Amino acid sequence: MAPAVSPLIDSHLHVWERERHPQPWISPAMSAIDRDFPPATAVRQLADAGVDGCVVVQCVNELAETVDLLADTEHLAAVRGVVGWVDLAGDLPAQVSALRAGPGGARLVGVRHVTFADPDPAWLQRPDVGRGLTALGEAGLTFDVLVAHHQLAAAADVVRRHPGTSFVLDHLGKVPMTSTELVTWARGLTAVAECPNVTLKVSGVVTEDRWDAWSVERLRPVVDHALALFGADRLMFGSDWPVVELAGGYRRWLEAYRELTDHLTPAERDAVDGGNAVRVYGLA
């Protein structure tokens, strides 16, 4: 009997309807995504790309968006989990309990805060946020870390203080593909990789490069560096759709991802394709 093959799970996908939840981060340069991307559109995109399922991730730091993400995807089989938002400085158990009791609440698998854009550059290091991170682990939820490359070392310090919480670092740590700060990124990523409770998403990297000029050859050194640090058992595929539409679209990124990981063994490929996402997020 042939060994089971893990499904292809997109660990990082967004949906939004701007009238319900405005997306103020979309700049004029992002006109290609300055429209609605409801869950039904996402499901069609997954099917078109041959992807088996996804984790929907929050975009704005507000509880109402998470309530709607859970409810709107409750009956969509392709959506395997939702990474939402809660106020980590507030009563986390009460917020999580309310979300889990609501429509689609069983699909809440993690929490994210758009940390790099927070007005407080030290938000992640605050003691009240730290207490929330501890409570998150106690609730069996992950925390998606979205920081700029220069914040990676500080993020590693926070992760080390919370060994009971599972962390997922988004977008290869927002590697600065077009700047001279690659050394800062590489050092910071090394510090994060030393924490065994962190998994890294191979996602969002093409939009950190020149949208119309990125290539597999330019991406390979940073992906290889990440693989050397984390190993295949701590990486997971993600598209960052629909943001990836700014830089060629879903299919082009998926093809690039396949090239970038074509040297992996079948077992390693299964892990990065979906096995790690299922394990880390506890997907059904």
Q: In the predicted model, is pLDDT for residue 9 greater than 80?
A: yes
Characterize the bridge pairing of strands 108-113 and 235-237. Answer: unpaired
Confirm whether 35 is domain-assigned. yes
Are 170 and 144 in contact by the 8 Å Cβ rule? The answer is yes
pLDDT of 1:
32
Confirm whether 80 is domain-assigned. yes
Confirm whether 1 is domain-assigned. no
Domain that holds residue 162: 9-281
From residue 252, give the alpha-carbon distance in Å to each of 18, 49, 237, 269: 26, 10, 14, 19
Q: In the predicted model, is pLDDT for residue 4 greater than 60?
A: no
Are 104 and 77 in contact by the 8 Å Cβ rule? The answer is no
What is the number of structural domains in the chain?
1
pLDDT of 3:
47
C-alpha to C-alpha distance for 82 and 87, rounded to whole angstroms: 16
Q: In this prediction, what percent of the chain has a pLDDT beyond 90?
A: 96
From residue 272, give the alpha-carbon distance in Å to each of 118, 191, 258, 262: 30, 21, 11, 12
Q: In the predicted model, is pLDDT for residue 2 greater than 50?
A: no
Confirm whether 2 is domain-assigned. no
Confirm whether 273 is domain-assigned. yes
C-alpha to C-alpha distance for 79 and 284, rounded to whole angstroms: 10
What is the overall mean pLDDT for the chain? 97
pLDDT in tens, 38-60: 999 999 999 999 999 999 999 99
DSSP β-bridge partners for residue 79:
54
Phi (first) and psi of residue 237, to 5 degrees: -70, 140
Confirm whether 270 is domain-assigned. yes
pLDDT of 5:
66
Confirm whether 4 is domain-assigned. no
pLDDT in tens, 172-205: 999 999 888 999 999 999 999 999 999 999 999 9
C-alpha to C-alpha distance for 214 and 252, rounded to whole angstroms: 11
DSSP β-bridge partners for residue 236:
201
Q: In the predicted model, is pLDDT for residue 284 greater than 90?
A: no
Percentage helix, strand, coil, to 5, in the chain?
50, 15, 35
Supply the pTM of this predicted model: 0.96
Confirm whether 3 is domain-assigned. no
Residue found under tokens 């539409």 = 245
Residue 153 belongs to domain with CATH number: 3.20.20.140
pLDDT in tens, 109-159: 999 999 999 999 999 999 999 999 999 999 999 999 999 999 999 999 999
